[in-house]
């Protein structure tokens, strides 16, 4: 059994590498796997929950006020995610900083609410939220893996390349490194897409 709503966000419509959405938190929180994972989980939680609620209330919301209503729904779940991180993972919350509250205006979340959840039923909206959230999280982790490994020689904060006498390229864990790695990965994904089309 196939679930296209679930798989499209991971590959065909990946928010980062295909749709180019959510690039601001992607660049800012992908310097380590810890922060990338926390950001991905928080965004996935908000995406899934807001998709479900918006799908359920879509027929009750007047068209003229749908966007403000969607933002209130999204902001509620962002507040839950933010308070949860502050209560149980304060160090991660401090590292991510303002980017958790900014999920409210993340193009992925609002875009899926408007383009998908407001037009589809509960099951498909749930699968779409999970798929897009997984795609965003996997994209963040892929970028963070390269940046952390080459930029500091660690993975999940554990030394990996020290024994090999590796000298970390610290520029990769700074802002210019984020743009560099993202650009290289976008080029790689475009190249793979072109190869798939040619087949």
pLDDT tens digits, one per residue of 121-145: 888 889 899 999 999 999 999 999 9
Total-model pTM: 0.89
> CA–CA separation, 48 vs 78, rounded Å?
12
Q: What percent of the chain has pLDDT over 90?
A: 37
* SS3 call for 171: helix
CA distance 110 to 116: 10
Under the banding of pLDDT at 50, 70 and 90, the label for residue 1 is very low
Paired sense of beta strands 158-159 and 154-155, if any: antiparallel
Q: How far apart are CA 99 and CA 46, in angstroms?
A: 13
Tell me if 117 sits within 8 A of 125, measured CB to CB: yes
Q: Within 13 A of 57's CA, how many CA atoms are on the CB side?
A: 18
Q: What is the pLDDT of residue 43?
A: 93
Mean residue pLDDT of the chain comes to 88
Cα 152 to Cα 169: distance, rounded to the nearest angstrom: 7
> Averaged over 12-25, what is the pLDDT?
86
Question: pLDDT-based confidence at 117, cuts 50/70/90?
Answer: confident
Q: How far lies 66's CA from each of 21, 52, 60, 117, 129, in Å?
A: 21, 15, 10, 12, 19
Report which secondary-structure segment, H or E, holds 195.
Answer: helix 175-198
């Amino acid at each position: 059994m196939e679930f296209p709503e679930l798989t499209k966000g991971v590959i065909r419509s990946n928010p980062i590498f295909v749709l180019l959405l959510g690039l601001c938190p992607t660049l800012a929180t992908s310097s380590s796997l810890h922060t990338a994972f926390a950001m991905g989980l928080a965004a996935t939680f908000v995406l899934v929950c807001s998709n479900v609620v918006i799908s359920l209330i879509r027929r009750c919301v007047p068209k003229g006020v749908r966007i403000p209503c969607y933002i209130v729904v999204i902001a509620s779940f962002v507040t839950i995610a933010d308070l949860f991180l502050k209560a149980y993972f304060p160090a991660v919350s401090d590292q991510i900083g303002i980017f958790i509250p900014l999920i409210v205006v993340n193009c992925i979340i609002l875009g899926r609410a408007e383009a998908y959840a407001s037009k589809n039923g509960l099951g498909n909206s749930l699968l779409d939220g999970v798929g897009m959230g997984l795609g965003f999280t996997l994209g963040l982790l892929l970028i963070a893996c390269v940046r952390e490994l080459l930029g500091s020689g660690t993975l999940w904060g554990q030394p990996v390349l020290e024994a090999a006498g590796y000298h970390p390229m610290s520029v990769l864990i700074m802002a210019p490194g984020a743009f560099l790695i993202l650009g290289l990965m976008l080029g790689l994904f475009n190249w793979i897409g072109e190869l798939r089309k040619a087949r």
